[in-house]
Amino acid sequence: MCAVYNLSYEEDGVFLEINAEQIANLNEDTLILHLTRKKITDLDIRSVKNLTSLGGHAKIAPSQIEQTYGEEMIVEIAKDESEAFVKILAPEDDGPFLEQEYAKRMLFDAGVIHGIDEDALNTVISSKDYGEQYVVAKATPQKDGEDGKLIFHFSIDERTGSPVEIGRGRVDLRTLDLFVPVTEGQLLVSVTKAVEGTPGKTVKGNIITYRPGKEIVLPRGKNVSYNDEKTEMYASCPGMVEYVNNSINVSNVYKINGDCDTGVGNIDFEGSVHITGNVRSGYTIKATDGINIGGSVESAKLIAGGNVEVKGGMHGSGRGMIEAGGCVSIMFVEQGAIIADGSVKLDVCMNSKIETGGTLHALGRRGAIIGGQVAVAGDVFTNYIGAVSNTKTEVVVGAMPRKRSRLSVIENELKRLATERIKLDQLDTYLTKTKGTMNNETWTTLHLSSVENRRINAEETKMYTEESELLKYEMEHSTNSKVHVFETAFSGSRVVIGSNAIKIDDEISYSTFSYYNGEVVYGPCEKNKADIN
């Protein structure tokens, strides 16, 4: 007997009685669920609803045997089939309890065939926490593929143009972050392979599709090379690298449209440098290849592994310098210095110092060497040496001063190596005497060290000897160089060939200075100006 309603099975039918005074406490859904679980056949739902509204006693079904229900499990599946939920309903007194195998069969009957958590199902069944909903199955989510990726091995960030840090919190105000330098063979970009991905499966066993990973190819490029698998890109020349519009370009020419000033700063570049404007005072340009300046150079430094071409001139103010591994071409140089392994061509050299391993051409509208000193390994071609003001000017031809200095260094190295060989001989004598009496491990270590040091000594001696012989040969033949003056060599000038010199006290016109019988002599010019490039 329930406080709210009572269900009775009688000979003439099944009757339901609802206490009208307790009708407010009645849950209609719970009552109908109870009647349904009792498996009452031919249930008159209309009569049940009338009783739930007014209360009273009425027949709701024909006569039948009462059935006792046990625990029941209600299965619900999410619309997207991602989860399955169960809720356990309480049994009647003496009703049977639910077993796990039967619960699993109920899940299968409901369509749940994948992702069942048997531990969770067992916990729900054993907890007797009736009416609560629990998740007992979950879909296996799909795993989308991963696209291939580009891995950049250089900075693709926009250049800041800020001064470069040189450590300990200091910055070089004349060196700016304007480009990314690279060396030949440097790895620029690599790619990672795409990952395919895997499908998922819903609790009802339906396949969840996945997005496959897409392969990515290396970007196009200029002056770049690839490995056989096309998964790595390398710089095929030194210089600077840029990533623009999905293209990677390596350039061995660094071009500045304008002046080299505070907006550009110092340049240190693997390749060539082209500047359309001027190079302002205090800045340094270094290039492993050539340097081309469209304007003029102030008291700055140009250091090139190749040729240097300056359309204008240099106002060096005693600090400007050009150093080239190749040739130098410049309009004029004033109070500056030029050191070149190749030839030098200019119009006017004033109060400057020039060293060249080739020839010197001071030919142009004026073509003059006025003041200072020029040292030339080859011939000199000029219109004028000195000036009417008797400006002290020295022209030296033959071996360059740097080569003389180098020969001195080599001779000192050969003396050092000779002294080292004496010490090695002394060590070998000592080892011969002590063999058998000295600790064997110590003796072996000293012996091997002696052998290795003697090998290194022999290699260095051979190298320095060959270089010394070449320099001496150049020195011996340095007197073959000549100075050709197409106009005038003025008083106050001095021409040096080899170790001999001639001081010019009176103007000498259209002459060639050469070495003959131990002295410097001059005669009519041996060259035609029109034939000199």
Q: What proportion of the chain, given as a percentage, has pLDDT over 90?
A: 58
365-374, pLDDT tens digit by residue?
Answer: 899 999 999 9
Residues 14 and 27 in one domain: yes
What pLDDT shows up at residue 1? 40
* Residue among 17, 124, 23, 130 nearest 69 (CA): 130
How far is 31 from 18, CA to CA, in rounded Å? 11
Matching residue, tokens 């050092």: 416
Q: Are 493 and 384 in contact (CB under 8 A)?
A: no
Domain that holds residue 331: 253-399+480-531
Whether 262 is covered by a domain: the verdict is yes
Whether 411 is covered by a domain: the verdict is yes
What pLDDT shows up at residue 100? 85
Last residue of a domain, one of 14, 37, 61: 61
Range 239-265 average pLDDT = 86
What pLDDT shows up at residue 128? 87
Could you tell me whether strands 239-244 and 247-251 are parallel, antiparallel, or unpaired per DSSP bridges?
antiparallel
Matching residue, tokens 């143009």: 161
Select the more confidently predicted residue: 333 or 500.
333
Residues 269 and 373 in one domain: yes
Lowest mean pLDDT of 62-66, 296-300, 395-399, name the range: 395-399
Indicate if the pLDDT at residue 276 is higher than 80: yes
How far is 136 from 343, CA to CA, in rounded Å? 89
Residues 374 and 285 in one domain: yes
User: What are the structure tokens assigned to 229, written together?
Assistant: 């698998």
pTM for this one?
0.60
Q: What proportion of the chain, given as a percentage, has pLDDT over 70?
A: 94
Instruction: Say how far residue 262 (Cα) sits from the centre of its chain.
Output: 26
Residues 347 and 290 in one domain: yes
**Amino acid identity at 500:** N
Whether 199 is covered by a domain: the verdict is yes
Residues 392 and 494 in one domain: yes
Q: What is the DSSP letter of 143?
A: B
Whether 315 is covered by a domain: the verdict is yes
129-156, pLDDT tens digit by residue?
Answer: 888 999 999 999 999 999 999 999 988 8
Whether 67 is covered by a domain: the verdict is no
**Residue 188, φ and ψ in degrees, nearest 5:** -100, -50
What pLDDT shows up at residue 499? 73
Indicate if the pLDDT at residue 530 is higher than 50: yes
What pLDDT shows up at residue 264? 82
Last residue of a domain, one of 38, 61, 84: 61
Whether 143 is covered by a domain: the verdict is no
Indicate if the pLDDT at residue 526 is higher than 50: yes
375-411, pLDDT tens digit by residue?
Answer: 998 899 999 999 999 999 999 998 666 777 788 899 9
How sure is the predictor about 254, in pLDDT bands with cuts at 50, 70 and 90? confident
Average per-residue pLDDT for the chain: 89
Range 77-106 average pLDDT = 91
Indicate if the pLDDT at residue 420 is higher than 90: yes
The domain total for the chain is 5
What residues have CB less than 8 Å from 495, skipping those under 6 apart?
385, 394, 395, 396, 397, 483, 489, 501, 502, 504, 513, 520
435-469, pLDDT tens digit by residue?
Answer: 888 888 999 999 999 999 999 999 999 999 998 88
How far is 519 from 99, CA to CA, in rounded Å? 125
Whether 355 is covered by a domain: the verdict is yes
What pLDDT shows up at residue 240? 85
Last residue of a domain, one of 108, 138, 168: 138
Indicate if the pLDDT at residue 173 is higher than 80: no
* Residue among 5, 60, 4, 11 nearest 36 (CA): 60
Residues 388 and 421 in one domain: no
What pLDDT shows up at residue 533? 61
User: What are the structure tokens assigned to 191, written together?
Assistant: 């790619």
Q: Are 28 and 52 in contact (CB under 8 A)?
A: yes
Whether 144 is covered by a domain: the verdict is no
Indicate if the pLDDT at residue 471 is higher than 90: no
From the CB of residue 489, how many other CB atoms can be counted at a distance below 10 Å?
Answer: 27
Could you tell me whether strands 284-287 and 267-269 are parallel, antiparallel, or unpaired per DSSP bridges?
parallel
How far is 334 from 348, CA to CA, in rounded Å? 8
Cα-based distances in Å from 185 to 218, 233, 269, 337: 16, 9, 16, 35
Residues 386 and 274 in one domain: yes
Residues 351 and 425 in one domain: no
Residues 31 and 79 in one domain: no
What pLDDT shows up at residue 110? 92
Indicate if the pLDDT at residue 169 is higher than 80: no
Residues 240 and 346 in one domain: no
What pLDDT shows up at residue 2? 52
Residues 361 and 495 in one domain: yes
Q: What is the DSSP letter of 195?
A: B
Residues 458 and 505 in one domain: no
From the CB of residue 183, how many other CB atoms can be counted at a distance below 10 Å?
Answer: 11
How far is 382 from 26, CA to CA, in rounded Å? 124
Q: What is the DSSP letter of 116?
A: B
